[in-house]
């Protein structure tokens, strides 16, 4: 098994958090993992992305020039990363912030999800990242949702543990959305 993903958006969207959760969950499931965050000096509001590589074999490099999949949270990230996705790859697109017509590659699978809108309907628009992660895990089956949920206490600082239940709800919402609508 081998899968890599670039998760991209702007600072404050929780891009690094969901990458970290995904990496930790995969590690707990016995997979080899690399997690590489990348952000500018202006973290909140600036461009942020991370790369997660998950493999049953040893990983030669955490650097991914041509990802198999991408979770795109905003338009600048779509412009930067869509051209890099491997043909036949997967793009999960946050259509709350990006017009799906801007995703122009016919050779990749584009799944449009109104992540912010779904999170807002669930009570907290800041949890769009969890909606995205839940949908990604449901689509790819790279790890179990149960492993993601178990990773929360290890990834979140203890002062944020009271927020785990609402994060889990948003994660499950993204998973259900993918099951029910397949991102259509």
Q: For 64-109, how does the pLDDT look when each residue is reduced to its tens digit (9 = 90+)? A: 989 999 999 999 999 999 999 999 999 999 999 999 999 989 999 9
Q: In this predicted structure, what is the pLDDT of residue 122?
A: 87
Determine the Cα–Cα distance for residues 9 and 12; give it in Å rounded to an integer.
9
User: pLDDT at residue 30 above 60?
Assistant: yes
Instruction: Report the interhelical angle of 145-155 vs 15-28 (nearest 10°).
Output: 110
Q: What is the pLDDT of residues 107-157, one digit of tens each?
A: 999 999 999 999 999 889 899 999 999 999 999 999 999 999 999 999 999
Q: Length of the chain in residues, anyone? A: 184
- Strands (E) located in 24-99: 32-39, 47-55, 69-72, 90-94
Enter the CATH code of domain 2-181. Answer: 3.40.920.10
Q: In this predicted structure, what is the pLDDT of residue 158?
A: 95
Whether 102 and 142 have beta carbons less than 8 Å apart is answered as no
How far CA 65 is from CA of 9, 70, 155, in Å, comes to 17, 12, 26
Q: In this predicted structure, what is the pLDDT of residue 84?
A: 97
User: 26 phi and psi, to 5 degrees?
Assistant: -65, -40
Whether 94 and 81 have beta carbons less than 8 Å apart is answered as no
Name the strand (E) or helix (H) holding 135: helix 128-140
Whether 97 and 53 have beta carbons less than 8 Å apart is answered as no
**β-strands 90-94, 47-55 pairing:** unpaired
Q: In this predicted structure, what is the pLDDT of residue 91?
A: 97
């Amino acid at each position: 098994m081998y899968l890599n993903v670039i998760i991209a958006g702007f600072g404050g969207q929780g891009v690094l958090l969901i990458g970290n959760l995904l990496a930790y969950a995969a590690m707990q499931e016995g997979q080899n993992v690399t997690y590489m965050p990348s952000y500018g000096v202006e973290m909140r509001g600036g461009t942020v992305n991370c790369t997660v590589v998950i493999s049953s074999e040893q990983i030669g490099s955490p650097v991914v020039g041509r990802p198999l999949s991408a979770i795109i949270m905003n338009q600048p990230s779509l412009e930067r990363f869509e051209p890099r996705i491997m043909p036949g790859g997967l793009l999960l697109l946050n259509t709350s912030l990006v017009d799906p017509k801007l995703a122009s590659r016919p050779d990749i699978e584009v799944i449009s999800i109104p992540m912010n809108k779904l999170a807002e309907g669930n009570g907290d628009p800041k949890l769009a990242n969890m909606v995205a992660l839940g949908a990604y895990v449901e689509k790819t089956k790279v790890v179990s949702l149960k492993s993601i949920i178990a990773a929360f206490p290890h990834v979140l600082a203890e002062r944020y543990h009271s927020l785990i239940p609402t994060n889990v709800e948003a994660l499950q919402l993204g998973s259900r959305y993918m099951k029910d609508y397949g991102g259509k």
